[in-house]
Structure 1
Amino acid sequence: MKHISSLLLACGLLFAHLGARAQGVMTFEKDSHDFGNVAEGTMATHEFRFKNTGNQPIVIANVQASCGCTTPDWTKTPVLPGKSGMVKAMYSSAGRPGVFNKTVTVTSNAATPSTVLSIKGTVLDKAQVKATLTPAQLAQSPRLTLDRTTHDFGKMEAGQQPSARFTVKNTGKQELVLSQLTSSCNCVGYKATPAPIKPGQSGTIELLYSQRQIGQMSDVVTISSNDLTGDAKLTLKATVVRDLNGTSMMKESGVAVPFK
């Protein structure tokens, strides 16, 4: 009887041990990437590939970047044993000249629940990049062309977010990647992240305007991209009032009068 109890105990320990080892194992090809020199305005992107070398499916719960300048993406479906998945890190270099060193932390149900991946490089401003390129190389750059460079919203209420659509054409030789929008008012943004535009093709961007100052507004917006010839600029205009309601009051020449 004592022998049988010992045998059952040994079997129980064996099954517990095997159960504990029944996990997915996330094995990355590499855990760091050096972009080297990156032209300012480029969305530096690297895809880290991994294989599930364990015996259970791996589900990535989250991927957290160390800063808002790095946008992660990853395989959203379970990665079965023997299959591969990816974690993508995208660094926005627009307005960020100099050395960068960023991380993304991958959280999953794998045997090692947290894995840190790193990216680094040096962002060169476009003047530096142009100085290192031959005319032939520069001719291969993507080229950003706008259908127009101004848009007037007319009268708008402070706090509203009207939008304006612009057509962007890539007249260059490589894929055009749009990145950061900058303006002195910090009141302009993309409604949705623009997709890359292939050579010879066009795309539509929609800009949101969130101007809260009252009066005649004219804001210059800079669109950064990987066009090495320079950034594109456009101007958004509006007459901003406190309230579009006809019974509201606004000051004209220092006198309160009904808004018309």
Structure 2
Amino acid sequence: MKTFSSLLLSLGLLLIHLGAQAQGVLKFDKELHDFGNVAEGTMATHEFRFKNTGTQPIIIANVQASCGCTTPDWTKTPVMPGKYGMVKAVYSSVGRPGVFNKTVTVTSNASTPSTVLSIKGNVLDKQQVKATLTPAQLAQSPRLTLDRTTHDFGKMEAGQQPSARFTVKNTGKQDLILSQISSTCNCVGYKNTPAPIRPGQSGVVELIYGQRQIGQMSDVVTISSNDMTGDTRLTLKASVVRDLNGTSMMKENGVAVPFK
């Protein structure tokens, strides 16, 4: 009887062991990627490749970056035994000069349910990059050209968010990628995320102006991009009033008219 019980126990342990082994095994080619020096304004991108060396399909449930500056992507379909998949890490270097070291956590149904991948590098600002480029390399840079550098909204009410459309042309040799936008008032932003502009092509960029201060306003806006010759600046102007309706009426020739 003891022999039979021992046999059942051994068989049970074997089945548990085999069940534990019947899982996908997620094996990455490497778990750390060093970008080295990265030019500010570029999107540093790396694909971590992995193989399922187990006996069951692997499904990646989620990929979480350690900061909002890193945007992950991954293979969404089940990765069968013996097949390959990928996890992509995209680091936005816009406005982030200096050394970076970020992680991406991969969660799956593999035998090891959580794997941490790392990316690192050093973002060089445009002046640093420009100093290292030869004239021939600089000539290959994208070039951002605006149809105009000033837009006047005229009279607007504080709190409104009018928009202005600018035509951007890429007169360079590589795709032009518009990135961070900044202003002296911290009140300007993109209405939509600009798409890359091919060499020789043009695109329309729409800026939203949310100035709340009262008076004659003139705000300088800086558009960053991967144009190695420098950032691009434009000026937004407006005469901002508190209220364009009844409280801002004035008398003109004895007749009440909107303030203008």
TM range, normalised to the smaller chain?
0.7 to 0.9
* Paired AA for residue 159 in structure 1: G
Q: 1:231 to 1:110 in 2, by over 3 A?
A: same
3-state SS, counterpart of residue 16 of structure 1: helix
Native 8 Å contact 1:130 1:138 kept in 2: yes
Asked whether the 8 Å contact 1:170–1:176 carries over to 2, the reply is: yes
Query: What TM-score, normalized to structure 1?
Result: 0.83
Aligned to 2:96: 96
Give the match for residue 130 of structure 1.
130
* Alpha-carbon distance in structure 2 between the residues aligned to 1:7 and 1:173: 74
Q: Please give the secondary structure, in 2, of the residue aligned with 1:229.
A: coil
Q: 1:84 to 1:170 in 2, by over 3 A?
A: farther
Residues 259 and 131 of structure 1: is their aligned pair in 2 closer, same or farther, counting only changes over 3 Å? same
Q: Map of 1:168-187 to 2, 5 A cutoff?
A: 168-187=168-187
Unaligned ranges ≥5, structure 1: 252-256
Return the index of the structure with the highest Cα Rg: 2
**What CA distance in whole angstroms lies between the structure 1 residues aligned with 2:166 and 2:92?**
22
1:230, distance to aligned residue in structure 2 (A): 0.9
Q: Do the aligned residues in 2 keep the contact of 1:248 with 1:259 (CA within 8 Å)? A: no
The alignment of Structure 1 onto Structure 2 pairs a total of residues equal to: 254
What is the one-letter code of the residue matched to 1:240? V
Equivalent residue number for residue 254 of structure 1: none
**SS of match in other structure, 2:246:** coil
Contact 1:92-1:180 at 8 Å conserved across structures: no
Identity in percent: 82
Alignment of 1:36-115 (within 5 A): 36-115=36-115
Structure 2 CA distance for partners of 1:202 and 1:25, relative to 1, 3 Å = farther
| Secondary structure of 1:223 counterpart | strand
Please tell me the root mean square deviation across aligned C-alpha atoms, in Å: 2.8
TM-score, normalised relative to structure 2: 0.83
How do 1:186-225 residues align onto structure 2 when only pairs under 5 Å count?
186-225=186-225
Partner Cα separation in structure 2 for residue 45 and residue 206 of structure 1: 27
* Shift of residue 139, structure 1, vs aligned partner: 0.7
Unaligned runs of 5+ in 2: 251-255
Q: SS in structure 1 opposite 2:18?
A: helix
Residue 228 of structure 1 and its aligned partner are, at CA, apart by 0.8
Q: Which moved more, 1:113-122 or 1:224-233?
A: 113-122
**1:247 paired to 2:251:** no
Q: Counterpart in 1 of 2:119? A: 119
Say which SS state the counterpart of residue 91 (structure 2) adopts.
Answer: strand
The CA distance in 2 between the partners of 1:61 and 1:223, in whole Å, is 37
Deviation for aligned residue 1:227? 1.0
